[in-house]
Amino acid sequence: SGMGIPSKQYENQGHLFRFEELTSGRALLNEGINLEHCVSLYAPRCQSGLVNIWSMKFLVKNKFESRITIEIRQNRIVQIKGKNNRQPDQLEMDVISVWAKENNLLLAHK
């Protein structure tokens, strides 16, 4: 059902980012396919309310594309992964930090 945090866009260094919560199995599957990682395996944990998954998307040619997947447990960001499980770069972390602070989320990622 989600965390109740609305989707939101941010601009940083001329780039536009959008945060969207993934609340369906299809959305998790698409995220995993697009970023080539295993986030779709989190569906049962999301359904039970143990985990919330967010996608940070990046505007490319007038279309938002998945760039980073964020795992949240009990208002703590515990995992942040990009394509093929890469770590976020500094630009991405700057935007994630602002979003986390605005939504009272603790950054405790690995």
| 8 A C-beta contact, residue 62 and residue 43 | no
Measured between alpha carbons, how far is residue 30 from residues 12, 48, 58, 106 in Å?
26, 20, 15, 26
For the residues of 25-66, what is the DSSP string, one character each?
HHHHHHHHHHHTS-GGGGHHHHHTTS-EEEEEEEEETTEEEE
The one-letter code for the residue type at 57 is K
The C-alpha atoms of residue 70 and residue 86 are separated, in whole angstroms, by 12
The C-alpha atoms of residue 80 and residue 70 are separated, in whole angstroms, by 5
Reported pTM: 0.94
For residue range 24-63, list pLDDT tens digits in order: 999 999 999 999 999 999 999 999 999 999 999 999 999 9
The mean pLDDT of 97-110, rounded to a whole number, is 91
Q: List CB contacts of 38: < 8 A, sequence separation 6 or more.
A: 32
Cross-strand partners of 71? 53, 79
For residue range 66-80, list pLDDT tens digits in order: 999 999 999 999 999
27 closest CA partner among 50, 3, 53? 53
